[in-house]
Amino acid sequence: MRSITFFSAVMLSLFMLASCGGGKEQWAVYTSGEGGFSVRMPGKVDKTDKTEVTPFGKQKTHFVTWKPSAMAINKFKLFQVSYTDCPQKFIADTVLLDVMLDSSIRMRYRDFTEKADVQGERIELNGYPGRAFIYDGKDDITIVKQCITNGRKYDLTVIVKKDQGTNPEISEFFNSFQALK
C-alpha cells in the first residue's frame, strides 16, 4: 500500500511539472498586418482592444499579449506590444513628436507607480525614435520601450520576475521589432 501511495505521489508530481511547462515557451515571429508590425515573442498570444487616454486624446489601443499559464513556472510574466494611431499633426513636427514621446512614457510609467518624476531615456528602437524606462518593482522588473513610426505609437513591454539575471529572450523581443511598410 505504501509503495502505491509513493508511486501515485511521484506520478502526480511529474504530471504537474510537465503541465507547468517549466517556462520553455515556443517562440515565433508574430506579424500583425492591421498593426503594421512584426516581432518575435512567445506563441499563443491574446489580442484585445481597449479605449484609453493617450497623449493624443482618448483612443482605442490594441494589445498583443503573452502571459504564462496560471500553473506555469516561468521567469517571465508578460511580453506585450500595444499600438495606437497617431494623428499626423503630432508626428509631422519633430519638436511635437519629442513632446508626445515624453508625455507618453510618463503616462506609461504611472501604470506601475505613482511617482511622477520619471524621465524616459531617449532611444532609437531599431531605428525608430523612442523612449524607454526600467521600473524596479517589489517582485518584478518592468522594461518598456516606445517608438513612433508609420503613423503609430508602439509600446513594447516585458515584465520579468526579480533575480532572473540577464535574459537573451528580452533582447530578442526588443531587437526583433519591425514596423511594416
Structural domain contains residue 31: yes
Cα distance between residue 31 and residue 40, in whole Å: 9
Output phi, psi for 10, to 5 deg.
-65, -45
C-alpha cell at 165: 539575471
Structurally, the chain folds into a number of domains equal to 1
CATH number at 152 reads 3.40.1000.10
* Mean per-residue pLDDT of the chain: 82
Collapsing DSSP to helix, strand or coil, 181 comes out as coil
CA distances to 15, 48, 53, 115, 126 from 108, in Å? 40, 18, 11, 11, 20
Owning domain of residue 167: 21-179
Q: Is residue 117 part of a domain?
A: yes
Establish if 1 belongs to a structural domain: no
The answer to whether position 173 is within a domain reads: yes
Listed as own residue / partner, the contacts of 164-167 with beta carbons closer than 8 Å and 24 or more positions apart are 164/75, 167/75, 167/76
Full-prediction pTM beyond 0.85?
A: no
How high is the pLDDT of residue 33?
Answer: 95
pLDDT for position 72:
65
Residue 6 is assigned to a structural domain of this protein = no
In a domain, 50, yes or no: yes
